[in-house]
DNA sequence: AACATTAATCGTAATATTACAATTAATAAA
DNA sequence: TTTATTAATTGTAATATTACGATTAATGTT
């Protein structure tokens, strides 16, 4: 991401940014949609559904796990990925609150 | 962002990703919060509120304008930035719908 | 016209992301 | 134990992002 200065922003701002990153790549959106709709679950099935190499899908899954929005339950040799509902709900709450926090008044006569 | 294959995903998935990108960096979250709460409006005021160089803030504003989530009304030599409410509402609708689309059933016995 | 103010752009360096082939676990099945 | 299956990891190349100093553009002011 380049040299982001995460230390100079609030924990909340950094968390919002991280949750947004889960959705900030079309492949991850596709993965999260497949999981949320229960259209796929096992890593291999996700790879079959997506026009990306297995390593690439695995990398996206790793990022989603880092953020916490998905879980990965091992059932050797498979891994079943699911939405991690508490974090999914955190995302809904976070984006909902943020997007509802807009003031109705205009800022100045220019706008 | 690396070599993302935007052509292989749906327009909707790419749009979600773009809207998420608006919130995927803490500096942009901070900017959007300042604008949404009407705490700042003029570019220079945003620069004063943020621990970033003027050029960096300008770059983030450019990205937010590209996405469409803010407007920039010129009032020379100032520019007044505001939330572009139609796109802000699009984001609320998009994230709301996406985050509400989760299926209640479990995907398999592993999870 | 000369100067001041403000924001955009340019140039550049540092770092992160994305993608994939190849390899490596890790476990089940034979 | 050997083999097959599945997912993670490693290595690497291409590209994008982030940040900032310096400059430029665009307009108001004197």
Q: What is the pLDDT, as a whole number, of residue B84?
A: 95
Residue A98: list chain B partners with CB under 8 A. Answer: 23, 29, 32-33, 36
Q: What confidence tier does A18 reach under pLDDT thresholds 50, 70, 90?
A: very high
C1’ C8 / CA A50, Å: 40
Test mutation, A2, A19, A29, A30, chain B, max B CBs within 10 A: A29
Q: How many angstroms separate the CA of residue A30 from the nearest CA in chain B? A: 7
Q: What confidence tier does B96 reach under pLDDT thresholds 50, 70, 90?
A: very high
Q: What is the pLDDT, as a whole number, of residue B3?
A: 72
Q: What is the pLDDT, as a whole number, of residue B1?
A: 59
- Please say if the pLDDT value at position B52 is more than 80: yes
Per-position b or e across B20-54, b if 16+ CB within 10 A of its CB? bbbbbbbbbbbbbbbbbebebbbbeebbeebebee
Q: What is the pLDDT, as a whole number, of residue A1?
A: 60
Best CA proximity match to B95, nearest among B57, B69, B66, B64: B69
Q: Is the CB of B105 under 7 A from strand D?
A: no
C1’ D22 / CA B21, Å: 29
How many angstroms separate the CA atoms of B22 and B2, rounded? 17
Best CA proximity match to A71, nearest among A60, A80, A63: A80
Q: What confidence tier does A40 reach under pLDDT thresholds 50, 70, 90?
A: confident
A95 and B100 within 8 Å at the Cβ level: the answer is: no
Mean pLDDT within B7-31: 96
- Please say if the pLDDT value at position A12 is more than 70: yes
Alpha helices (H) in A2-53, listed in sequence order: 11-22, 26-36, 43-49
Q: Which chain B residue has its CA at the smallest distance from A106's CA?
A: B38
């Amino acid at each position: 991401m380049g040299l982001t200065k995460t230390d100079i922003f609030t924990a909340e701002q950094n968390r919002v940014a991280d949750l947004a990153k889960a959705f900030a790549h079309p492949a991850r959106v596709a993965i999260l949609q497949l999981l949320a709709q229960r259209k796929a679950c096992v890593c291999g099935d996700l790879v079959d559904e997506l026009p990306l190499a297995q390593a690439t899908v695995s990398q996206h899954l790793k990022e989603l796990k880092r953020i916490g929005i998905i879980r990965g339950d091992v059932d050797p040799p498979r891994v079943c990925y699911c939405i991690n509902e508490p974090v999914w709900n955190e995302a809904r709450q976070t984006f909902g609150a943020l997007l509802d926090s807009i003031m109705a008044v205009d800022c100045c006569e220019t706008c």
